[in-house]
Structure 1
Amino acid sequence: MIQVTVFRSNNQIEAFELSGHADSGPYGYDLVCAGVSAVSIGTVNAVMELCEADLEIEQGGEGGYLHVKIPESLNETIREKAGLLFEGMLISLRSIEAEYSQFIKIKNN
């Protein structure tokens, strides 16, 4: 199962973490994993490109791990824009969770 954890500060997303595998299909054909990966990596790329922000990214391992944090050093305007893009990502991930709840779980921390 993919575990998504959203970290907030002052009601704004400051980081998110993905871990695990959906195992909803054979390797290379796992639609839940593909959807979650596309949404999350697309969001990271959008923040970096549109906000011209370097995010704190930790990834790797066979456990499908990704941790992304908005650096505290960014000015407030850029942090708010990045947070809004992360909120859009969360909406998309919740749509996936609504259809495939046996393969993905989202929690706030």
Structure 2
Amino acid sequence: MIQVVINRTKSDEIQSFEISGHALFDRRGKDIVCAGVSAVSVGAINAVHELTGVTPEIDHDSGLLRCVVPDELPEDTSGKVQLLLEGMIVALRTIEIDYGKNIKITFKKQEVE
């Protein structure tokens, strides 16, 4: 199962996300759930970089993608980054609705900032 963990700040902004595991929907190269999650998440990171100039901290390995949004961005830039990442979450939740046996999204919120 793919595990998606979205970490939010106390003020509800996305601070980071981590995607790990494998969907196991089909064999490697044929797994549409894995392909969809990969396309949505990597596409969102690329959009953040391309459209805002922000380069998130990325850790990418087989079966793992971790993305951390830089602290203290200008308010207008932060708003754009947040909108792009919220769009990613909408797309991932859509996948989860149809393939809930293969992907689970969890939200965590910081108690203190």
- How would you bin the TM-score normalised by the shorter chain? over 0.9
Can you list the C-alpha shifts for 1:50-107, whole angstroms capped at 9, x where unaligned?
Answer: 00111111111x4x10110110042222122111100000000000000000000000
TM-score, structure 2 length as denominator?
0.91
SS across alignment from 2:40: helix
Aligned to 1:97: 96
Residues 1:30 and 2:41 aligned together: no
RMSD value over aligned CA atoms? 0.8
Q: Distance in 2 between matches of 1:87 and 1:99?
A: 19
SS across alignment from 2:100: coil
Report how many residues are paired. Answer: 107
Aligned to 2:111: none
Q: Distance in 2 between matches of 1:84 and 1:8?
A: 14
TM-score, structure 1 length as denominator?
0.95
What's the CA shift for 1:11? 0.9
Poorly superposed stretches of 4+, deviation over 6 Å? none
Gapped regions of structure 1 (runs ≥ 5) = none
Amino acid in the other structure paired with 2:4 = V
Residues 1:106 and 2:105 aligned together: yes
Residues 1:41 and 2:29 aligned together: no
What fraction of aligned residue pairs are identical, expressed as a percent? 47
Query: Retained in 2: the 8 A contact 1:14–1:83?
Result: no
Gapped regions of structure 2 (runs ≥ 5) = 109-113
